[in-house]
């Protein structure tokens, strides 16, 4: 006798709220139309193969730059949903910190693959674009630093930034949960601990130590801002440190 498979309820199949919301918001972002200025052809931004992307946090601060020659949606997805990128594995980047994405697609190289005769030319252009976006991110950062472990190589021939598309990848409900300063402080402290642990257990390049410094500076800045928002020094309690001691009977 063949047993019938039991039906799994929709509630059981549905992933946790924030995960589900992120996937929906990312899908919506990937489907955002982008028109190639040179041809006038419009496609969804996530469908482009070649390009550079820039992540922003909940303050609009640039935090990470990457490139892809495989597919924009696939590469970004590995960072934010699958979490299978080196940056995530090494605790360089916390996907919970990413609120917005800026994408610079290269439609002119859509047909290029590793076997194409102009692959090296396309890759050189992609590398040069990553350098240009990286420089832009540093210039626009109030810390004059982002979280990338490595700096892109300066190109022989600089390129101009193409038309880009920027959008939010979190819903209003997720933003309300994640954007609170105390939540962000806790997450950032956790990532710093993980990153410091990685550094202590492995022989790492100095760029990873620079990332640790950048995260620590960002943590301190956020903590100081929160402290000031709540009144600062004028609201600090006065009295003896008597935790655990019993008062007079």
Tens digits of per-residue pLDDT, 32-62? 999 999 999 999 999 999 999 999 999 999 9
Residues in the chain: 249
Question: Which has more confidence, 247 or 92?
Answer: 92
Whole-angstrom Cα distance, residue 186 to residue 174?
16
- How far is Cα 128 from Cα 134, in angstroms, rounded to an integer? 10
**E strand or H helix that includes residue 112:** none
* Least confident range of 118-132, 158-172, 200-214, 231-245: 231-245
Give the pLDDT of residue 90.
85
> Which pLDDT score, from 0 to 100, does residue 133 have?
98
Residue of 104, 103, 123, 105 lying closest to 113 (CA atoms)? 123
Assigned token pair, 35? 């028109």
pLDDT greater than 80 at residue 190? yes
pLDDT band at 241 (very low <50, low <70, confident <90, very high): confident
87 pLDDT exceeds 90? no
Looking at residue 129, what is its pLDDT? 98
pTM of the model: 0.89
């Amino acid at each position: 006798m063949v047993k019938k498979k039991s039906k799994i309820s929709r509630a059981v199949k549905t992933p946790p709220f924030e995960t589900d919301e992120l996937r929906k918001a990312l899908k919506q972002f990937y489907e955002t139309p982008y028109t190639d200025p040179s041809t006038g052809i419009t496609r969804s931004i996530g469908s482009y193969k070649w390009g550079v992307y820039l992540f922003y946090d909940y303050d609009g601060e640039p935090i990470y730059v990457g490139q892809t020659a495989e597919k924009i949606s696939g590469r970004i997805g590995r960072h934010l949903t699958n979490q299978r990128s080196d940056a995530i594995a090494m605790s360089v980047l916390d996907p919970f910190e990413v609120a917005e994405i800026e994408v610079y697609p290269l439609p002119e190289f859509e047909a290029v693959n590793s076997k194409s005769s102009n692959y090296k030319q396309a890759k050189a252009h992609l590398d040069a674009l990553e350098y240009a976006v990286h420089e832009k991110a540093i210039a626009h950062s109030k810390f004059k630093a982002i979280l990338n472990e490595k700096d892109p190589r300066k190109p022989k021939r600089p390129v101009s930034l193409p038309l880009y598309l920027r959008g939010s990848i979190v819903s209003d409900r997720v933003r309300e949960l994640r954007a609170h300063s105390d939540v962000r402080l806790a997450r950032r402290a956790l990532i710093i601990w993980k990153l410091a642990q990685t550094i202590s257990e492995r022989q790492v390049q100095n760029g990873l130590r620079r990332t640790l410094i950048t995260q620590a500076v960002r943590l301190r800045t956020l903590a100081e801002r929160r402290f000031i928002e709540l009144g600062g020094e004028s609201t600090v309690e006065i009295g003896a440190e008597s935790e655990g001691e019993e008062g007079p009977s």
